[in-house]
């Protein structure tokens, strides 16, 4: 009889334990699903465009065959001239004042950012089908045509992109409390002083509007230095973001998403963010194409009424250099498309 009572007590404890475990598991599932739904509700505030297949984005099989052994995802990043929130599908397209390639290297757990010179002479594919300066691809056909242009002219495999207006940059900088910069004496610091920035102990504290102005200055040097300034600001923004707690980050995300257009799905965004937790976010490699800056320019031309447009010395070398930066592939051979592009540009624009 005593043995039966003990057995009954054990069974009762087991049932209680199972019930408690079931309740805990249910709570965890509710929290996970609820959090997932909340994140989805935030991400749904972005402006979405259609997914691009390799065929849509003009990704060639030649390129895919050469990069297939690398676990790297390339995402195009476009900063638009547009002052309003990103609504590129609703009105005339804007030039991409900044064009960058963000490479997520899942093998080395690193992020690489490659800036592409905006005034480079390139071929803009269909439906435009003509030569032009690089940042006009976005103007001629929005982010989708700009993605096709990058793949065609640089042997890339991009099908995903993120676009934002410069108002987004201004808003983000204000949300993180501004950015501190040490500026050299001279025209640059004078221009920022004229924008209301003030120096204290050698440091200028800049708000969103001032940072946006700083990122777009060309008068003090050239576009290659401006690309460096833009990348420096990206790193400083990341430095401040990683110090925020989860709740602060969610507030910032909530404010920023309406300024963003992307063709990434919610699951792709969440998977990328989860993966980035294991990346070295304190060391982001930065490159610019071409790396030699103004020394890479063979000639400055005017075409279709636009100037300056920079014809580069060697377009095959640009593709090789870019693949070395992103894939660390010294033996990369440009595709037949790039080889033909080089010939066509030399035939039409070469010579004195």
- DSSP for 323-339? HHHHH--TT----HHHH
Measured CA to CA in angstroms, residue 162 lies from 132, 210, 345 at distances of 22, 23, 30
Q: How many CB atoms lie within 10 A of CB 189?
A: 17
Q: Cis bond leading into 281, ω under 30°? A: no
pLDDT value of position 92? 47
Measured CA to CA in angstroms, residue 199 lies from 169, 178, 182, 220, 329 at distances of 22, 14, 9, 19, 44
What is 95-151 written as a DSSP string? -EEEEEEEEEETTTTEEEEEEE-TTBEEEETTTT-EEEETTHHHHHHHHHHHHHHHH
What's CA 85's distance to the chain center, in Å? 17
Q: Report the candidate in 205, 183, 187, 185 with the shortest Cα–Cα distance to residue 196.
A: 205
Beta carbons of 319 and 333 less than 8 angstroms apart: no
Measured CA to CA in angstroms, residue 196 lies from 188, 207, 208, 279 at distances of 13, 10, 12, 37
Beta carbons of 146 and 159 less than 8 angstroms apart: no
Q: CA 264 to CA 47: how far, in whole Å?
A: 10
Q: Which run of H or E residues covers position 298?
A: strand 297-303
What is the sign of the dihedral through the CA atoms of 164, 169, 75 and 71? Answer: negative
pLDDT value of position 19? 58
Q: CA 113 to CA 104: how far, in whole Å?
A: 9
Q: CA 5 to CA 11: how far, in whole Å?
A: 10
> Per-residue confidence of the chain (352 residues) as pLDDT tens digits?
555 555 555 566 566 666 565 555 544 443 444 445 556 666 777 788 889 999 999 999 999 999 988 999 999 999 876 533 334 344 345 666 789 999 999 988 999 999 899 899 999 999 999 999 999 999 899 899 999 999 999 999 999 999 887 788 889 999 999 999 998 888 888 898 899 988 888 889 999 999 988 888 877 777 777 888 888 888 888 888 878 887 787 788 888 888 888 898 888 887 887 787 788 877 888 888 898 888 889 999 999 999 899 999 999 999 999 999 999 988 899 999 999 999 999 999 986 5
3-class DSSP state of 302: strand
pLDDT value of position 230? 84
pLDDT value of position 166? 77
Q: CA 145 to CA 135: how far, in whole Å?
A: 11
Q: What is the pTM of this model?
A: 0.81
Measured CA to CA in angstroms, residue 210 lies from 85, 108, 163, 164 at distances of 19, 35, 21, 18
CA torsion angle 302 305 306 309 (round to 10)? -20
Q: Is 266 buried (19+), middle (13-18) or exposed (0-12) by CB count in 10 A? A: middle
Checking phi first, is residue 311 left (phi over 0); if not, alpha (psi -120 to 50) or beta?
beta
- CATH 3.40.630.190 is right for the domain spanning 52-170+216-349: yes
Q: CA 178 to CA 192: how far, in whole Å?
A: 14
Q: Which residues does 276 contact at the CB level (< 8 Å), separation at least 6? A: 104, 111
Cross-strand partners of 105: 72, 110
Beta-strand pair 160-165/47-48: unpaired
pLDDT value of position 85? 38
Beta-strand pair 285-289/72-80: unpaired
Half-sphere exposure of residue 92, counting CA atoms within 13 Å on the CB side? 4
Q: Report the candidate in 298, 302, 281, 301 with the shortest Cα–Cα distance to residue 290.
A: 298
């Amino acid at each position: 009889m005593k043995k039966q009572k003990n057995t009954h007590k054990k069974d009762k404890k087991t049932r209680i334990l199972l019930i408690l475990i079931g309740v805990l598991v249910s709570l965890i599932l509710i929290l996970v699903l609820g959090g997932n739904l909340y994140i989805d509700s935030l991400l749904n505030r972005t402006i979405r465009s259609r997914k691009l297949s390799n065929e849509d984005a003009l990704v060639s099989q030649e390129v895919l065959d050469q990069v297939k052994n690398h676990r790297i995802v390339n995402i195009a990043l476009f900063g638009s001239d547009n002052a309003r929130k990103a609504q590129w599908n609703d009105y005339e397209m804007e030039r991409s004042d900044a064009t960058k390639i963000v490479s997520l290297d899942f093998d080395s757990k690193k992020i690489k950012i490659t800036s592409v010179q905006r005034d480079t002479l390139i071929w803009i594919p269909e439906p435009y089908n003509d030569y032009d300066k690089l940042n006009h691809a976005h103007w001629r056909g929005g982010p989708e045509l700009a993605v096709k242009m990058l793949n065609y002219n640089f042997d890339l495999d991009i099908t995903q992109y993120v676009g934002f207006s410069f108002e987004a940059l201004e808003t983000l900088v204000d949300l993180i409390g501004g950015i501190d910069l040490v500026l050299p004496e001279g025209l640059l610091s004078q221009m920022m002083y004229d924008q209301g920035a003030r120096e204290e102990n050698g440091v200028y504290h800049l708000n969103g509007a001032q940072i946006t102005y700083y990122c777009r200055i060309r008068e003090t040097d050239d576009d290659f230095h401006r690309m460096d300034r833009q990348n420096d600001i990206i790193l400083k923004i990341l430095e401040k973001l990683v110090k925020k707690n989860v709740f602060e980050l969610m507030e910032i995300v909530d404010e920023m998403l309406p300024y963003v257009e992307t063709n990434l799905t919610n699951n792709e965004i969440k998977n990328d963010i989860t993966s980035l937790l294991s990346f070295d976010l304190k060391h982001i490699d930065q490159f610019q194409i071409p790396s030699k800056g103004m020394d890479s320019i063979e000639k400055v031309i005017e075409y279709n009424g636009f100037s300056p447009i920079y014809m580069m010395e060697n377009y095959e070398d640009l593709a090789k250099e870019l693949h070395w930066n992103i894939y660390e592939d010294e033996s990369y051979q440009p595709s037949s498309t790039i080889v033909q592009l080089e010939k066509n540009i030399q035939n039409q624009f070469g010579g004195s």
